[in-house]
């Protein structure tokens, strides 16, 4: 089964890369390294949300724990720097692969099923579950069910909602993907219509190649994000890119940062051999990421800070460090995976296959477990291990029993080939075996 990092629906392929071309090798055509990045990036998102009840300082999460942790605050900070940029880069990479392989019409149909349908069907169910988990968290914190007066007071002190406010929750990534697909396909259509000689495409390929071949690639790709931090409106610098989860109009930071990542991934697939450079340079990019992240934490502090950034050179320097660190982490993680995780692994394959479902359902489960441990007299680091130690087995079990070989799995991940045992029994019974094609 082949599916994309952004929507668990695009091919991950193991390719021999020479120059700027890609070809299959070793009897396999799956990029196991990118499968690993996809699966672990989504799992990191679950850990990211699990840290939020333990953050010190001002509280902005529905579940508030009695114990806080600067270490988990650091985990929150660092994971937010790069996980979604990595996510959308690989989404663009496999999005281009899918369009080239299947054509635009088939691509749109596929994304409607695997992105739009889970968003429309899953949102009301998950939103209701999140509201219920929030109420339970408030009950644990106060010892009583929230009253109408408390709700009214919370609403009165809430910040002014943005235009077209809508609680997308953690499903915002599906909504933003639809925007990115539409914008990219529109640009693609214009280029194909007015660039019959391929000059624009050749120029774009040259720019992408020169960027990736340069050791300063994270700086070049970080410029758009740095500029939107400084000139895109009020910015809470400790939190980096503001999550676009509260409006049907993506905020400027998310739109610029994630479209840059998606578009770069889209163009990178045209010259897949450039991935070899990331594979070789991952130690350099990891060292750069660690250094710049340390500089950011030294400037902003480890504890969350809700205040808005003030104009000036210190803010500009922080924005530059943060943006370059984001791309350094992204290149380091992708390069590391391509270098050391390119062998076939049944465990990593299973994680990759299940990761989309786990990410969809995780938030209310994690919130309920956070509330259940909130009053325990134990360090925050122990509590988060309890939360994750219970949440992951539950979610993996739900995937195995409810999704993996059901119609839900067919929608999210594509149809799976029949197990080998079933194929063998069919053959021995001399019945025609017609397993569903793997995607």
Question: Which tens digit of pLDDT belongs to each residue from 58-69?
Answer: 888 989 999 999
**Phi, psi angles (nearest 5°) of residue 150:** -65, -40
Mean pLDDT of the chain: 85
Helices (H), 232-341: 252-268, 275-300, 313-340
Contacts of 64 (CB under 8 A, 6+ apart): 53, 137, 141, 374
Distance CA 51, CA 200 (A): 45
Please compute the mean of the pLDDT values over residues 241-259 and round it to a whole number.
Answer: 95
35 near 342, Cβ under 8 Å?
Answer: no
pLDDT at 302 over 50: yes
Would you tell me how many other CB atoms lie within 10 Å of the CB of residue 311? 9
| Tokens of residue 240, six digits | 């980096």
The pTM of the whole model exceeds 0.85: yes
Q: How far is CA 166 from CA 19, 120, 248, in A?
A: 46, 13, 6
Please name the residues in contact with 174: beta carbons below 8 A apart, sequence gap of 6 or more: 7, 115, 116, 118, 119
The phi-psi region of residue 103 (left if phi > 0; otherwise alpha if psi is between -120 and 50; otherwise beta) is: left
Please say if the pLDDT value at position 158 is more than 70: no
- Cβ-count burial of 213 within 10 angstroms (0-12 exposed, 13-18 middle, 19+ buried)? exposed
At residue 234, the 3 state secondary structure works out as coil
pLDDT bucket at 104, cuts 50 / 70 / 90? very high
Alpha-carbon span 439 to 428, nearest angstrom: 26
30 falls in which pLDDT band (50, 70, 90)?
low
Domain locations in the chain as residue ranges:
15-404, 413-439
Q: Mutual orientation of helices 172-194 and 252-268 as an angle, nearest 10°?
A: 50
Q: 289-293 contacts: CB < 8 A, separation 24 or more?
A: 289/82, 289/325, 289/328, 289/329, 289/332, 292/321, 292/322, 292/324, 292/325, 292/328, 293/77, 293/78, 293/81, 293/325, 293/329
């Amino acid at each position: 089964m082949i599916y994309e990092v952004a929507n668990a629906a695009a091919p991950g392929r193991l390719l021999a890369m020479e120059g700027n071309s890609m070809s299959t090798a070793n009897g396999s055509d799956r990029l196991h390294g990118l499968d690993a990045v996809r699966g672990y990036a989504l799992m990191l998102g679950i850990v990211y949300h699990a840290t939020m009840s333990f953050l010190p300082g001002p509280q902005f999460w529905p579940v508030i724990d009695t114990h806080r942790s600067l270490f988990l605050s650091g985990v929150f900070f660092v994971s937010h720097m790069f996980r979604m940029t990595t996510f959308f880069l690989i989404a663009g990479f496999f999005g281009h692969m899918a369009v080239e392989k299947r054509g635009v019409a088939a691509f749109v149909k596929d994304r409607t099923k695997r992105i739009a349908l889970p968003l429309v069907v899953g949102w009301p169910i998950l939103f209701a579950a999140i509201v219920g988990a929030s109420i339970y968290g408030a009950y644990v914190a106060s010892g009583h069910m929230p009253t109408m007066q408390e709700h009214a007071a919370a609403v009165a002190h809430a910040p002014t909602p943005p235009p077209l406010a809508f609680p997308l929750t953690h499903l915002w990534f599906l909504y933003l993907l639809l925007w990115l697909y539409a914008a990219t396909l529109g640009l693609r259509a214009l280029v194909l219509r007015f660039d019959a000689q391929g000059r624009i495409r050749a120029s774009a390929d040259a720019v992408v190649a020169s960027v990736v071949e340069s050791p300063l690639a994270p700086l070049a790709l970080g410029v758009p994000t740095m500029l939107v931090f400084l000139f895109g409106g009020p910015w809470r610098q400790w939190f980096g890119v503001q999550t676009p989860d509260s409006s049907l109009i993506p905020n400027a930071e998310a739109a610029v940062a994630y479209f840059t990542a998606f578009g770069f991934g889209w163009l990178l697939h045209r010259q897949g051999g450039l991935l070899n450079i990331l594979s070789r340079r991952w130690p350099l990019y990891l060292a750069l990421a660690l250094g710049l992240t340390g500089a950011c934490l030294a400037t902003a502090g480890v504890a969350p800070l809700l205040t808005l950034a003030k104009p000036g050179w210190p803010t500009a320097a922080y924005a530059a460090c943060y943006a370059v660190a984001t791309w350094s982490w992204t290149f380091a993680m992708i390069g590391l995976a391509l270098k050391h995780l390119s062998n076939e692994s049944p465990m990593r394959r299973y994680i990759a296959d299940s990761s989309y479902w786990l990410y969809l359902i995780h938030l209310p489960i994690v919130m309920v477990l956070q509330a259940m441990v909130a009053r325990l007299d134990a360090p925050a680091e122990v509590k988060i291990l309890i939360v994750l130690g219970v949440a992951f087995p539950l979610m993996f079990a739900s995937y195995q029993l409810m999704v993996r070989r059901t119609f839900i799995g067919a929608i999210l991940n594509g149809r799976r080939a029949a197990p080998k045992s079933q194929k063998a029994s069919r053959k021995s019974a001399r019945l025609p075996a017609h397993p569903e094609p793997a995607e």
